[in-house]
Amino acid sequence: MLCLLAGSASAETRGTLRVGLLPLDLESSSDTPLFGEQVDRAVTEYNAAARVFDRRTGTNTAPIDASDLGVSETLAMISPGIEAGSGHFLFRIEAPIGIGSDLKSIGLGLYPIGIQGRVRDIAIYASAGGTASWLDRPGEGDKGGLLTVRAAIGARFSNHVVVELGYSAFALGGTVNNDKLEQMETEMELPAPETVLSAGEARGLFDVSVGLAF
């Protein structure tokens, strides 16, 4: 698709660089796709380990449930990409990189559906597609990912300054540390729950970004 657009006589191809914020508020449950079984396992094993820990130390650890294992994080996003447009059609591919206090991500964004138009010297566009990213937190043993179905509307001012509003109709993601999960089961260790598993899904997440086209 990108090659076809770039090869047409009236095609425009440009590099883009956007920076912005992506608030992640993913709710966890036993029914969370891909993660539901591990959520139940983490809750069961954590509460069992907590009871052993409390008997040994005389403390009183509060039990957890699935809702305690969601993801609440805001990622600072840097998204370099390439756009190709022909007439009113627009295609974009990008590599979103996210950095948060406890999470980091790197992935691929693909927006095969896009339209654009011009109002005086302002180019208005709308795109639809999604992203798939590797998701990780500090330390060893974590495995995770983040998937989003995303649409965006934006404007290019003077062909260079970009402002974009994104809407993720669906987001699913999280991290799992199987080593810590095994340690809870076999050694009754009591790590912080979110370092063992933190996952969930959400609908209707907004993000905003600004950047440059060149």
pLDDT digits (tens, 9 = 90+) for 98-150: 999 999 999 999 999 999 999 988 999 999 999 999 999 988 889 999 999 99
Q: What pLDDT does 140 receive?
A: 85
Strand residues in the chain grouped as ranges (E): 11-26, 71-86, 89-94, 97-99, 104-119, 122-136, 142-157, 161-177, 197-202, 205-213
Q: What pLDDT does 133 receive?
A: 98
The CATH architecture to which 2-213 belongs is Beta Barrel (2.40)
CA angle 122, 126, 130 (to 5 degrees): 140
pTM: 0.89
Per domain, the residue ranges of the chain are 2-213
CA nearest to 39, candidates 78, 70, 8, 76: 70
